[in-house]
Every structure is written in structure tokens, then in C-alpha cells.
Chain A
């Protein structure tokens, strides 16, 4: 009987969401934006210039090094140089995104050294990928190298074994886009919905009608949860169709695990909804999405201090990007992120509950 009553209440809340013009328009706008952005990203081809110095008769294009370095980039234009100084100079002048020196190793295998400007985001992302795949050098050692030299020019050497890289740089942005769109709708939707109820005094009803805080919160969150996992499914299918991403793992598992991210995001939205006004709620929601997004797009996350990484992982977007990126592109499930999402869900939910009760 109690469950039946809750379902009835849930039905009324779902009706309210559907009637809410602001949320409805927001969903429509984001759906259109999603398709538009995916289309633009897909149709855009990025062209990069790379300087090459070939020695000992090694041809870069015939080695696996080429696959590793250049295939992730949409289109590469190779320009040949005849010395290290010349190549490094072209990197310094930002004429090329990086300079590769290839030669024959002691046992005859091709070896390579990359020279690049550390501020170059394209190469930084490549390095980040190498680091995540644990190939030859970790990012830490690269950073140590930076520090020793005290310059922004870096040198990395790596072996060509173990590497398989099948996605272009633009395809790699898919997970970040997914995180942004889903978070925006969920965080703003649930936070706005509750903040509005609080401002109009509706949320105070729980004090004198026989409905508890948990039932009230859950009746708000469950419709958004369903909306979130539906949106996640649609976006994954769009990603596969429009961006031609071949998921390295079963789409159903991706979708299933995304529900943990959706839960954590909703709980965070719930916490934001306890803020004093709707404007501060919206501000916090935007910051919690944009901060990890900017960090992800502008710097190499694993290069940040541990404290910064821990702080970023308190926001659901960052663990989502790491977990789902690894899952979709590399086919590896980082299971330990599931408890992180669960912990976020519980912490944010309990905090929101505590704040609401305290304010009452």
C-alpha cells in the first residue's frame, strides 16, 4: 500500500515535469544542441602539421610509430627536416604540432623521439593517452623531465609495442560531450525543480502533511533518473551513428553503468537545490559541470596535483569522463569508479537531507 501510494505521488511529480515549460524547452534545446554539436564535430576535419627527421633508412609512415602518433589525429601533413635543431625550431615557432625523430635501434627496431611544446593540447592529450595505456613512460616521468629542464619543450621516447589506437581525436571528445549534456539537463532540471518548490514554499508541505523528506526527494529524483538514463541511451546511439564510434564494450554495459553516474549527478543537483536562491543553484550547477570539462579539455588531468585530482573527482563529471572514456575507447571497465559514484550519491543525498531538515 505504501509503495502504491508512492507511485501515485511519483505520477503527479512526473506530470509536473512534463508540464514545466522551462524544463521542457531546456530538454528540447539540449536535444537540438546535441545533434548539432555531434554533427559539426563529425563533419569537421582537423589538419595537423608534423615535422619528421628520418635516419638509418627508416620511413615513419611505414612504422607503427606513425599509427600511434598520427592516426589519432584526423589529418596529418608531414614535413621533412634534416636535423634535430631544425625540427625543434619549427616546434618552437609553432609551425608544427610536434617533431618526430625516427632511427634504427640497436636490434634494428624503429625508435622514436617526440619533441613538442608542452602547452600544445593535442600532444598533451596524446601523451595522456600513452600514460593511461601505461606505455613505456608514465606521465610523471615526463613531468619530471620538464622540471629538470625547466623549459616547456619536452622530449619523450617510447617503444612502439603494445599500442593500439583506433579513435580519432574528435571521437575522443565524445565522452566529454556526453558528460556535459547529461549533467546539464539533470543537474539544472532537478536543482531548479526543487529550488522552485522551496522558494514557493511547497517543500515546506513535508512538515505538516504525512510525507517524509525521503519520499518527497525520491518522487522528484526518480522521474529525472529515468530521463537521465534515457538521454544517455539516446546519446550513445547518436555517438555510434553520427560519430562512427565503435564501442569497445557492450553498449548495454555502458548504459547500465551510466545509471550510477546519473544517480550521483542527481544527488548533487539535490544538494545544490538547497541553496538560498535559484540563481545560486544554477551557478553552482554550471560550475560543477564546466570546471571538470575545462580541466579535461585544457590540461592533462593526471598531471595535476593529487589534491586537485581528488577535488575534481568529488564532482561526478570527472570520474565519468575517466571511467567511460576507458570503457568506450579501450574496452576496460574501471570497476572501482562504481563505489565512487555510489559514495557521491550517498554523501550528496545525506547532505541535502541534513540541510533541508536544518533549514526547516
Chain B
């Protein structure tokens, strides 16, 4: 589904990504983990088209993202939940989703469906700006899956959430996976990697580890700090 090859990105003179290669296979949940400033969000933003790589290639569903003609297909293929809330604070939860339905040319009923999935039905008439942090994240998630994308990209979806919300969130992700979707998820919580088929660890702008949790444990590693100690570039 996703193939990133030799990706480089820098902000001014500060390199953030230095030759990142990553692959997310069809139907898998891939985790992306790393310390703050490792370049995880930058990598994901480049994948979703918010930012551009300085060099390198990204293919989503076989389409090169630099191909302008393919952008429309790619936009319909991906569902992106950014790290910060990027829906309209001055619209209600329902209106935000109906807005996205209009954008994706979907019937309005799809908004109701997705609110049901994301447990937002009770908050549908609340302005997004007035929702609590957890519900805003859920609304953001609903916005990302409203068009049933084949490739779901989640940037720290459970950051700052209480354990109940986190569990709900992963229930939604697991449920959504049944639509044979591929998921790329950034997380800071090491224990959430259990939910992922494979994961990659980004450190100093490079992939320090790429594999399954079982492979990770075979290496005798137990947490991110140990990865960083082992793979210091």
C-alpha cells in the first residue's frame, strides 16, 4: 500500500529525515514509534501530501504521489487523522462530518454511520470546539474514515487520552481493519505496539528498527530506549 524510498527532508539546515525507507503492506497495521523530534509526523505529513520531501519517492497504492494526475485518486485512497485537531471548531460534530461527506460526494447518511462507529452519536449537536479532547480525537478519527479509505494514517491518535478512550480507539481501529484497510499509526505508547502487525522505530531521521514485536523481543529489546542505545547512528 505504501512504499517510501530514500526519503530526505530538512527544515532549513536541520535534517529531519535522512534516507528513510519504509513499506506498509496491504491489510496490515503498521506502527511508527520514536522519540519526540524523530521525524515521525514529518514522515507522515509528507506521505499525506501536507509537506514535500526534499528527495525520495512515495508510492501509495502503486501511484507516485508526485504525479499530479494521481493526486485525486490518492486523496480518495487515504484517510488522515492529524496530530492536532483540524476540523472546524465552529461547526457541530455532525456538520463537520456532513461537510466531509459533501467533499467526498457521499450521502449524508454516511455521517450518521461513522458517528455510530466512533461513538459520537450523543455529541452530534455539540460544536467541535466545545468537545472534550477525547471526543475531538474521535471526531477527527470519524473524519478520517468517513469515506472508508483503503489506507488509514493516524498521527498519535491516542495521545493525551485516558485508558478508556484509548481502548475505544483501538476497538475502532481493529473494527475498521475488517474492511481490509491498511493502517499506519504513530504512537508514543510502547504497549500499543501489541495491536500492530509490524512496527518501525524512527531515530535521528532514520529507521532504527523495522519488524514485528516478536522479532523485536528476539533481539532482547524491551523498550524504545534500548533501541536507541543499540542503533545509534
Contact = CB atoms under 8 A, between A and B. Distances in A.
Decide if A and B are genuine partners.
Answer: yes
B49 interface: yes
A205 B86 contact: yes
B216 interface: no
Contacts, number: 60
Contacts of B52: 360
Nearest to A1: B105
Contacts of A360: 50-52
Interface in B86-106: 86-91, 95, 98-100, 102-105
A15 B100 contact: no
A12 interface: yes
A193 B91 CA distance: 14
A207 B99 contact: no
Task: Give the size range of A's interface with the partner.
Answer: 20 to 34
Interface residues of B, number: 28
B82 interface: yes
A50 B30 CA distance: 87
Given A208-B80, A209-B103, A20 B90 contact: yes
Given A201-B82, A204-B86, A209-B75, A9 B50 contact: no
A204 B102 contact: no
A210 B86 contact: no
A243 to B, nearest CB: 37
Nearest to A17: B90
A5 B76 CA distance: 16
Nearest to A19: B90
B75 A12 contact: no
Contact of A5 (B48, B80, B84, B105): B105
B82 to A, nearest CB: 7
Contact of A15 (B49, B89, B91, B102): B91
A20 B127 CA distance: 12
Contacts of A36: none
Interface string A9-22: 10010011001100
Contacts of B86: 200-202, 204-205
A8 interface: yes
A34 to B, nearest CB: 26
A211 interface: yes
Given A15-B95, A201-B84, A207 B50 contact: yes
Given A5-B102, A15-B91, A19-B90, A207 B82 contact: no
B72 interface: yes
A202 B105 contact: no
A108 to B, nearest CB: 74
Given A19-B91, A207-B49, 16 more contacts: A1-B105, A8-B99, A12-B99, A15-B91, A19-B90, A200-B85, A200-B86, A201-B82, A201-B85, A208-B49, A208-B50, A209-B103, A209-B104, A210-B76, A210-B103, A360-B51
Closest 3 CB pairs of A and B: A8-B102, A210-B75, A207-B49
